[in-house]
Amino acid sequence: MPSNDVRTLLQAAVPTAGVGALAAAVSAVVAGAEGAIGAIVATLVVILFMGIGFYVLQRTAKTLPHLFQAMGLMLYAAQILLLFIFLAAFKNTTLFNPRAFALTLVAGTLAWIAAQARAHMKAKILYVEPDSMTGDRPEKTGHSS
């Protein structure tokens, strides 16, 4: 993974982890240990799902740019399906508080999206590859005008 991709990934994951820590603290006060566990699990799910999605989209953009938009739509649909399966599997769990889990999941996702958008806006990404510019330069003919 190129360094600017790692930088963007970290700039999205760190604030999301911070929001998750804050949500875990609030959930622990409001719902006890089950609330804190629910918030921690939700934070890990958000970071895992969004991180894998970011990685897959970056690889797709570099190797198959013509499939980027379709891959993005498929990836988000797959993430929602996996989240639905996760929620269905833990529907009746007593391991964590479902309300704390759900609220942290939403807050973590919004934090990830906002942080990733901010990181992308601040990144200095070249829109034109410097190597491709060599063919566009006029050749020197040796004539001075």
Tens digit of pLDDT for each residue in 37-79? 999 999 999 999 999 998 888 888 888 888 888 888 998 899 8
Q: CA nearest 37: which of 100, 87, 88, 82?
A: 100
Cβ(104)–Cβ(35) below 8 Å = no
What pLDDT was estimated at residue 141?
A: 57
Give pLDDT, residue 83: 85
Cβ neighbours for 45, distance < 8 A, ≥ 6 positions apart: 83, 86, 105
Residues of the chain with pLDDT under 50: none
- Alpha helices by DSSP H, the chain: 3-31, 33-63, 68-89, 98-122
The mean predicted confidence, pLDDT, of the chain is: 85
* Burial class of residue 5 in the structure, from the number of CB atoms within 10 Å of its CB (0-12 exposed, 13-18 middle, 19+ buried): middle
Backbone torsion region of residue 97, taken as left when φ is above 0, otherwise alpha when ψ lies between -120 and 50, otherwise beta: beta
